[in-house]
């Protein structure tokens, strides 16, 4: 099954990118790697989760948002070219930054939603190294921001 078929079977439609992006790009290829910029959980122009966890945003909301970050990242890869997503052979690393109240310690539960989606889409090749940390402030007050490093097939 192709990645696009896999997304379809999961009920995921890739959004088109907001752009233009001023001063950086949403994804940059370097040899057989793609660095995907830190994604925020925008869906149809609105963030799916705002504010620190758990005082303002619940873990469950943040998990939905983490999933959206991944979808937006894959949309960024798709925007690089019509067959780019199909060339993705796996996921190397994700960095998950979780807007946290001091003392909140369940960043992995939030990041798991992103990791699980990558495995649903890419199978075992979607398993990745991960860093998940709390932060006290994020752009636009979103509750989670996730960057990815993807691997391309050499072919």
Helix (H) or strand (E) holding 43: strand 42-43
Name the DSSP letter for residue 14.
P
Distance CA 26, CA 78 (A): 11
Task: Tell me if 15 sits within 8 A of 69, measured CB to CB.
Answer: no
In Å, how far from its chain's centre is CA 11?
Answer: 17
Number of residues binding to its own copies, judged by CB under 8 A? 57
Question: Which of 27, 65, 88, 121 is in the footprint of its own copies by CB under 8 A?
Answer: 27
Instruction: Tell which positions 89-118 bind its own copies, by CB under 8 A.
Output: 90-95, 97-98, 100-108, 111-112, 115-116
Given candidates 19, 28, 83, 123, which one binds its own copies under the rule CB under 8 A?
A: 28
Chain residues binding its own copies by CB under 8 A are: 22-28, 30-33, 35-38, 52, 90-95, 97-98, 100-108, 111-112, 115-116, 119, 127-141, 145, 147, 149, 151
């Amino acid at each position: 099954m192709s990645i696009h078929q896999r997304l379809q079977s999961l009920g995921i439609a890739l959004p088109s990118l907001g752009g233009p992006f001023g001063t950086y790009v949403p994804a940059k290829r370097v040899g057989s790697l793609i660095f995907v910029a830190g994604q925020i959980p925008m869906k149809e122009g609105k963030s799916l989760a705002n504010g620190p966890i758990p005082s303002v945003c619940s873990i469950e909301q943040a998990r939905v948002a983490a999933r959206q970050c991944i979808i937006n990242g894959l949309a960024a890869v798709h925007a690089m070219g019509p067959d780019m997503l199909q060339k993705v052979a796996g996921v190397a690393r994700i960095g998950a930054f979780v807007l946290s109240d001091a003392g909140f310690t369940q960043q992995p539960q939030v990041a798991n939603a992103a990791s699980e989606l990558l495995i649903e889409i890419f199978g075992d090749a979607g398993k990745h190294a991960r860093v998940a940390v709390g932060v006290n402030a994020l752009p636009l007050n979103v509750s989670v921001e996730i960057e990815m490093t993807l691997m391309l097939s050499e072919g």
